[in-house]
Amino acid sequence: MGALASAALLFPLLSAAPSATAEEPAAGALQRQFAAAAERYGVPQSVLLGVSYLQSRWDAHGGAPSVTGGYGPMHLTDAVTALADAPHHSEGGEDARGDDARAPRVGTGAHAPADVPTAAELPARLRTLERAAELSGRSAEELRTGTAANIEGGAALLAAAQREAGLPASTDPADWYGAVARYSGADDSATAATYADDVFDVIRSGESRTTDSGQVVTLAADPEVAPAAGQVGALGLRAPVRGAAECPRTVACEWVPAPYEEFGDGDYGNHDLGNRPASQSIDYIVIHDTEASWDTTLKLVQDPTYVSWQYSLRSSDGHVAQHVALKDVGWHAGNWFVNAKSVGLEHEGFLTSPDSWYTEAMYRSSARLVRYLAKRYGIPLDRQHVLGHDNVPGTVTSSIRGMHTDPGPYWDWAHYLQLLGRPVTPSAGPDAGVVTIRPEYAANQPVYTGCVTAGQACAPHGSGAVRLRTAPSADAPLVKDIGLRPGGQDSTDGVNDTGARASTGQSFAVAERQGDWTAVWYLGQKAWFHDPKERRTAVDARGVVLTPKEGLASVPVYGRAYPEASAYPAGVPVQSVSPLPYKLLAGQRYVVGGRTPGEYFFAPTFDTAGHAVVRGQEEYYEIQFGHRVAFVKAADVRISRV
């Protein structure tokens, strides 16, 4: 989880496995179900398909609920059934601020779990399945578990929204803009309109994909459709409080500020005032999941005794709330160097609920926000700058084991990178010196354990991550991470164990190839993953790599790029340049993400008068060293292009 890992959950998700009795549907069955439901309720088929694509990409998820309690291709919500008390779903006890110059700010607080609410206490967007049952005559169980019934329920909701707006059941999709906006469940006009715009973008461009049940569904492109966007004004929704929010116009965004407050005795919260990018460049965007519901997330970030991040994104409709100005520094990543040079995005979700899922609406909204931030600050759209929280390194050896593991192995990085306009594609011919991880998400289903109970297998689910072994064999032990396990024990298949994991979009230098196996340099060792020619789990790539300079048997690896001692002015305590327990050994190569001077943002007090940015002469390279990135001194290595 991100900053909220240890927070009490309002109503965390139950993990639900697909039905063991579910039968494989006949080819074309899902397409026919959309057609039948559209005809029955008088909804243009393209509108029904477009809405479903934005919610689920036409996947049924085996009847399991989304992070907001949505079921099936139409994402009909039944939060009372889907959500119940469960243990929190991320491990780690990191100090979210990640700076030992002041007292730790661990992401915990006195937030007692709330009772699971009744249906009447939930917003309408979290109980659309109940309304769909009334309109369609289908039972709640049918709507949760049957795709045909679920699609009918969604069509019934759209038809009802059209009637309630006083509009006819037109065959022209352009006449359904208001109904689509209503379907989003958003309570503000900007979010509803953004959602409807996305649906009609899909209708204009068309889509075709194979769903998680193996069904091919196609929405033919209708490039000329021009929806009646003015219809959203008649829905009676509130205007968003955009205020000081820094967002692109292409996302629905409002300002929900995190407090900057002094408590006395030198304590304050929950972020630091800064002057970025004038004082320091913003080089990273960190992707988190909240490990809490939307309402709990907003309550926590507005608690001055808690921690902070720049943006939260809502699963159901992609709505964005900004909490900390981009010039200021949030406490979210557990590494002060990264915090001082990053923007944190929290996504409503739970990393170890493998059958839960993030909506297309949230993925798209997040991608637009990240593209905006990347353009504004010149941040490369690659996996060494758009980091998961699970890719942020511990600052020193003692902090490695406490680092968080979200958004975890179920975040669809391949789809996200495609939405960012940077899909993972080959950039070199066969047998290149670098590979970029890219398994087929739906088909790649490694066994993880510990989603609900320690040691017990999680429900099968697609994943963007691959396992790394000590030899080219499925029976070989997983590689070791001596930072996570100083005793030298093997890594495990635990869902929160990142010690032997490579994730989609990450690039590594090739160490060796044998048949259907590829080895890369990883945490100072040779690490093998299954990479069969008929279904590659990585693509060949070009890249800049580094290795120790001639004559050096090894070089130290760091979790932060701090300045040399001589760079610190009087009054600013020197921060130790403390290496991690790993070594980069002679003959090994690692992919370079960028070059940066050593920097330290000194901000231990509420009074900003004494704050300072210390910048040294010593420079570092960021590298993809393991599942997490790391830093090495430029003076210790030589670089080359492969």
* DSSP calls for 401-413: GG----S-TTS-H
CA atoms of 436 and 136, how far apart (whole Å): 47
Whole-number pLDDT of residue 13: 35
Whole-number pLDDT of residue 19: 38
Whole-number pLDDT of residue 7: 35
CA atoms of 507 and 293, how far apart (whole Å): 33
Whole-number pLDDT of residue 411: 94
Mean pLDDT of the chain: 91
Whole-number pLDDT of residue 53: 97
Long-range contacts of 571-577 (CB under 8 A, 24+ apart): 571/610, 572/600, 572/602, 572/612, 572/614, 573/101, 573/602, 575/100, 575/101, 575/600, 576/396
Q: How confident is the model at residue 17 (pLDDT cuts 50, 70, 90)?
A: very low
Burial (CB < 10 A; 0-12, 13-18, 19+), residue 176, is buried
Tell whether the model's pLDDT for residue 113 goes beyond 60. Answer: no
Q: Please, which residues have CB within 8 angstroms of residue 324's CB and are 6 or more apart in sequence?
A: 257, 258, 271, 308, 309, 310, 330
CA atoms of 453 and 167, how far apart (whole Å): 51
Least confidently predicted of 7-11, 304-308, 543-547: 7-11
Q: How confident is the model at residue 459 (pLDDT cuts 50, 70, 90)?
A: confident
Tell whether the model's pLDDT for residue 154 goes beyond 80. Answer: yes
CA angle in degrees (0–180, nearest 5) for 374-5-315: 55
Q: 400, 416 in Cβ contact below 8 A?
A: no
Which two three-digit tokens encode residue 176?
A: 């359904």
Whole-number pLDDT of residue 100: 79
Tell whether the model's pLDDT for residue 87 goes beyond 80. Answer: no
CA atoms of 53 and 31, how far apart (whole Å): 12
Whole-number pLDDT of residue 24: 60
Which two three-digit tokens encode residue 392?
A: 């942020």
| Total residues found in the chain within this entry | 642
Which two three-digit tokens encode residue 15?
A: 């993990």
Ranges of beta strands (E only) in 578-634 are: 579-585, 590-602, 612-624, 629-633
Tell whether the model's pLDDT for residue 46 goes beyond 90. Answer: yes
Q: Residue with structure tokens 């399991």?
A: 64
Q: How confident is the model at residue 123 (pLDDT cuts 50, 70, 90)?
A: confident
Cα Rg of the chain, angstroms: 25
- In whole angstroms, what separates CA 513 from the centre of its chain? 31
Q: How confident is the model at residue 86 (pLDDT cuts 50, 70, 90)?
A: very low
CA atoms of 524 and 480, how far apart (whole Å): 10
Whole-number pLDDT of residue 569: 97
Q: Using the 8-state DSSP alphabet, how is residue 631 labeled?
A: E
pLDDT, average across residues 226-236? 96
Q: Which phi and psi (to 5°) does residue 230 adopt?
A: -65, -15
* Three-state DSSP class for residue 376: helix
Name which residue leads in pLDDT, 3 or 331.
331
Whole-number pLDDT of residue 4: 46
Q: 361, 348 in Cβ contact below 8 A?
A: no
Ranges of beta strands (E only) in 339-464 are: 342-347, 386-388, 434-437
Tell whether the model's pLDDT for residue 107 goes beyond 50. Answer: no
Q: Which phi and psi (to 5°) does residue 549 adopt?
A: -65, 155
* For the chain, percent of residues with pLDDT exceeding 70: 91
What are the beta bridge partners of residue 95? 106
CA atoms of 430 and 599, how far apart (whole Å): 39
Whole-number pLDDT of residue 354: 59
Burial (CB < 10 A; 0-12, 13-18, 19+), residue 597, is middle
CA nearest 32: which of 45, 47, 50? Answer: 45
Q: 292, 312 in Cβ contact below 8 A?
A: no
Tell whether the model's pLDDT for residue 106 goes beyond 70. Answer: no
CA nearest 385: which of 338, 340, 447, 351? Answer: 338
Alpha-carbon distance values, 108 to 111, 287, 397, 621, 641 (Å): 8, 20, 22, 33, 44
pLDDT tens string 47-74: 999 999 999 999 998 888 888 889 999 9
Whole-number pLDDT of residue 18: 40
E strand or H helix that includes residue 299: helix 294-301
Is the Cα torsion angle 276, 280, 283, 288 positive or negative in sign?
negative
Whole-number pLDDT of residue 117: 58
Neighbouring CB atoms inside 10 A of 359's CB total 24
Whole-number pLDDT of residue 169: 92
Q: Write the class of the CATH domain 29-235.
A: mainly alpha
Least confidently predicted of 229-233, 354-358, 418-422: 354-358
Neighbouring CB atoms inside 10 A of 409's CB total 27
Name which residue leads in pLDDT, 105 or 626.
626
Least confidently predicted of 98-102, 285-289, 423-427: 98-102
* Three-state DSSP class for residue 102: coil
pLDDT, average across residues 355-378? 93
Q: 387, 394 in Cβ contact below 8 A?
A: no
Q: Please, which residues have CB within 8 angstroms of residue 149's CB and are 6 or more apart in sequence?
A: 136, 138, 139, 142, 143
Whole-number pLDDT of residue 350: 80
Which two three-digit tokens encode residue 99?
A: 């700076």
Name which residue leads in pLDDT, 379 or 103.
379
Enumerate the domain spans of the chain.
Answer: 29-235, 548-641
Q: Alpha helices, DSSP H only, in 73-187?
A: 79-82, 128-136, 140-145, 147-164, 177-183
State the virtual CA torsion across 91, 97, 100, 106 in degrees, nearest 10: -50
